[in-house]
Chain A
Amino acid sequence: MSVHASWYLTLAALLFTIGAVGLLVRRNVLVMFMCIELMLNAANLTFVTFARALNDIGGQVAVFFVLVVAAAEVVVGLGIIVAIFRRKVGTTADDAHLLKG
């Protein structure tokens, strides 16, 4: 028995919304970072769903690229976060508004 693709897509949409809203409303940098990962994985889930539904391996290949990019992003992102924490006490994203015009 196979689950209908629309369920997966709904789940992916939910995950993406949770990630997007979380990114907008939370202040903790780490949490915001996790939200971004959530959105990326929601996108990955959509890729995989369509790969199966359309019987096309290309979607699954795309997921690998996204994973690689996400990994790289985590490295850079966490590095920036650590650097911020070294200078500041808090973990609030708003504290780092040095690029204000």
Chain B
Amino acid sequence: MIHAAFLIPLLPLAGFAVLAPFGRKIGNPIAGWIATLLVAGSFVVTILVFVALFRLPPDQRSVTEHWFTWIGVDRLQVGAGLLVDPLSMTMASFVTGVSALIHLYSIGYMRHDEQYAKFFTYLNLFVFSMLMLVLADNFVLSFFGWEGVGVCSYFLIAFWFDRADAASAGKKAMIFNRIGDAGFLLGLFLIFERTGSFTYTTVFARLGSVGTPSLVAIALLLFLGAVGKSAQIPLFPWLADAMAGPTPVSALIHAATMVTAGVYLMCRINPILHLAPDAAHVIAWIGVATAFVGATSACAQSDIKKVLAYSTVSQLGYMFLAAGSGAYVAAIFLMLTHAFYKALLFLGAGSVIHAMDEDQDIKNMGGLARLMPVTGITFLLGWLSIAGVPPFSGFWSKGDVLENAWAVTPALWAVGALTAALTAYYMGREYFLVFRGERRWVEARPAAAGGHGVSDHGAATRADLQGAGMQGAGMQGAGMQGADGPGEDVHASYTARGLHPHDPTWHMSAPLVVLAALAVLGGLVNLPFHPSLDFLERWLDPVVGATLLHHHFSTGALWLFSIVDAALALGGVAVAAALWRRRSDRPALEPRFLFMAWFVDAAEDRVVARTGSVLASLTASVVESRIVDGAVNGVASLVRISGQRLRRLQTGYVRTYALGLTAGVVILIAYLLVRVGS
């Protein structure tokens, strides 16, 4: 059964191959169903291979499926093949599973889009690339997948390319990723130079003969690639901008799968990190710093997707904290649970955005829980999971990361724990602003007049509402709260803006429910109480067991950690509820510094982009016009001036020429005489 592994990436590729030329003909919604079913088929195959691998004894759970030699030049032999081991299968199963759900969701979400088939073409290509990335048996093939997901990310961020922000966000993602990819490539060169191979197993077997400085350099260069792909400091601003893409894309690529590729890479190279502890420390610290910066930035965003984007940055930071602390299982565990609850939150946000008629500002939402029960409840579950409230999945995975961070140094734990509380807080803020409180999207007019109103007043009155600040909103809120009970009044008032918030079609609701179940129960795969419950840890043992950070906390310490984690999560939830349940406007809690994400983007814009622009204009004005054009014009004028000087010789008088001839002959003879004489 393991030999069927080739089908895992092949099915999405087949979907791409069919949809790319014929997608437009196949049309809406068959094209979407083809893509969805192929990815679902890939998921089924993954599960079968997973089970087959599970049946093997633990020490044999690493099967290489060699296909063919891809690049063969003398010593450089790069094969195309799959490495089927617990790590790659864990990745493949959640990638294909979450992808299938998001494909299904997209059938509903994109159903009015003109480029319907193209969307699924890109999605299938993305899933293929992602699977090549995680299943490849060597670095180069992984890099192929790595670049493939990068380019699909570009296509899908800039999917609505007629919108300027989407087009430039796609470009930005591409450029930020290029910086990281340069590091990845240099790392690959160094790996080949030191070990003479690219195959994972061979490289790891030869690490003994590689010096520590080289290993640190390799680890840090590959980490630079991961920083770009997984949006860590300083290369994270692109992820916030990437939210310009369709929401399923944000859920699939910019939350659940692609951005975790960097974490996967770090876990894959765990033997290298184990031998290069200095590099691991750098990774852990950058991870925890990113987690903190991301979480604080998420506290001040007002775009429903930007909150989630910075939250993703923050959670990815946690994963790097785990990987850098040598807790690879914790990293994978968090990646798994994060894929569930973050995909859920994004898809929920997509439903809300649809219901709000493409308005993404959470300040204009509110009170949606009652109108969109499925979305509201699943979002609530997602929020409690990411917040780390027991017994939801986030509690177990984040607890695992924090314990391991403590084992490395309590300072890492402290920052991580603070971030955990912030996570509970900012997600709570989003939940309360979107689903609770007064319905700020209702037109700010007396409910009685609302029924006969026309929708074009909507924009102006919404602005008024914001301008009036707390007072106006409060009054409005009071009126609406009263109208909450009797359905007639509510309906009359919100039809005024032409909005009918409701739960989406089953294509979109079903994935929400499945993901919510996974987000709630995901913690079961790795419970800390007893060694027999560490399913994930035992499963991944053949891959990371040798390098895993082994620490032994007493049972009491474990309980203490759990209690502190739970207290932090509940504290964050409580603070969010106290602050945001009734009010939507607290400027003191949303400083510009945090809204601008610590001005990292602005600073990079100022330092790098502006410097680049200045350099470019300098090149245009000085180098181009003076040096390049100068060289060309200089040659021309040199020829012209020398021509002008030399033409004087050409008098046209025969005697002058005759004199020249004679003089030449005289000089020649004189020379010969002198030569002969001497």
Contacts and interface: CB of A to CB of B under 8 A. Distances in A.
A99 B652 CA distance: 5
A94 B653 CA distance: 5
B649 interface: yes
A77 to B, nearest CB: 11
Interface of A: 20, 23-24, 27, 32, 93-94, 96-101
23 contacts: A23-B655, A24-B655, A24-B658, A24-B659, A27-B655, A32-B654, A93-B653, A93-B654, A93-B655, A94-B654, A94-B655, A96-B654, A97-B651, A99-B650, A99-B652, A100-B650, A100-B651, A100-B652, A101-B647, A101-B648, A101-B650, A101-B651, A101-B652
Nearest to A97: B652
Contacts of A23: 655, 658
B229 to A, nearest CB: 69
Contacts of A32: 654
Interface of B: 646-655, 658-659, 662
Given A23-B655, A23-B658, A24-B662, 15 more contacts: A20-B662, A27-B655, A32-B654, A94-B653, A96-B652, A96-B654, A97-B653, A99-B650, A99-B652, A100-B651, A100-B652, A101-B646, A101-B647, A101-B651, A101-B652
B652 A98 contact: yes
Contacts of A98: 652
Contacts of B647: 101
Q: Which of A27, A32, A99 has the most CB of B within 10 A?
A: A99
A96 B652 CA distance: 7
Contacts of A100: 650-653
Contacts of B652: 96-101
A101 B659 CA distance: 17
A27 B656 CA distance: 12
A49 to B, nearest CB: 18
Q: Which of A27, A93, A98, A101 has the most CB of B within 10 A?
A: A101
A25 B653 CA distance: 12
Contacts of B662: 20, 24
Contacts of A99: 650, 652
Task: Give me the 5 closest cross-chain CB pairs, A-B, nearest first.
Answer: A101-B650, A97-B652, A101-B647, A100-B652, A99-B652
Contacts of B655: 23-24, 27, 93-94
B666 to A, nearest CB: 10
A74 to B, nearest CB: 17
A24 B658 CA distance: 7
A64 B89 CA distance: 101
A75 B304 CA distance: 101
Nearest to A29: B654
Nearest to A26: B655
A57 B604 CA distance: 93
B1 to A, nearest CB: 91
A101 B648 CA distance: 6
A92 to B, nearest CB: 10
Nearest to B659: A24
Nearest to B666: A20
A101 B652 CA distance: 7
A96 B646 CA distance: 20
Contacts of A93: 653-655
Nearest to B651: A100
Nearest to B655: A24
A101 B649 contact: yes
Contacts of A27: 655
A30 to B, nearest CB: 13
A70 B199 CA distance: 86
A58 B299 CA distance: 109
A74 B646 CA distance: 31
Nearest to B648: A101
Nearest to A32: B654
Contacts of A96: 652, 654
B673 to A, nearest CB: 14
A23 B654 CA distance: 9
A96 to B, nearest CB: 8
A17 to B, nearest CB: 11
A78 B662 CA distance: 23
Contacts of B649: 101
Contacts of B650: 99-101
Contacts of B653: 93-94, 97, 100
A53 to B, nearest CB: 19
Contacts of A94: 653-655
A60 to B, nearest CB: 24
A68 B648 CA distance: 36
A98 B655 CA distance: 14
A23 B648 CA distance: 22
A52 B130 CA distance: 100
